[in-house]
Amino acid sequence: MDSVIGRVGGKCLLTIHFVESSLMLAFLRDANTSASVIEIINLLDEVLGAKTFNSLFPVILTDNGSEFSNPKEIEKRSTIPCNRTKIFYCDPSAPYQKGACEVNHELIRRILPKGSSFDELTQQDITLMMNHINSYKRKKTEQP
């Protein structure tokens, strides 16, 4: 899980990358805050249901950005007193620990250059962009 920032102080993206399927989801947020991240995680939990959410998100790997600074609220289920996931943080200055996510961010930046405003974009625009990025054919490295 990571963020792609548009113009400073404007809208931004929360990205969630599923390594095994090479699928990335992106959610448009009004601001780069921990509250906006928690809101999206809560929405996913509600829409997917506890069983599916737990299956898809047993752990979440992210960086130490301020938007991820409230792990307890991300981890806990708001409806019942139990954890829904476990947050782990990458080592500082180690973007290679979530390399596939960073590669997708490079593709996003081809469409939405760094410093550009996301303020006029809609979630539908972001979904269309991610559909194109997710369908982009790439070479997979084989595991030994």
What does the pLDDT profile of the chain (144 residues) look like in tens digits? Answer: 999 999 999 999 999 999 888 899 999 999 999 999 999 999 999 999 999 999 999 999 999 999 999 999 999 987 777 889 999 999 888 777 787 888 899 999 999 999 999 999 999 999 999 999 999 887 764 555
Domain holding 122, by residue range, is: 2-135
**How many structural domains compose the chain?**
1
- 29: exposed, middle or buried (C-beta count within 10 Å: 0-12, 13-18, 19+)? buried
- Tokens found for residue 136: 């982009």
Q: Is the entire prediction scored with pTM above 0.85?
A: yes
Residue 141 lies in a domain: no
Neighbouring CB atoms inside 10 A of 11's CB total 19
User: Domain holding 13: CATH number?
Assistant: 3.30.420.10
Structure tokens of 112?
A: 């939405």
pLDDT reported for residue 28: 98
Closest CA to 76 of 87, 89, 66, 88: 87
Q: What is the CA radius of gyration of the chain?
A: 15
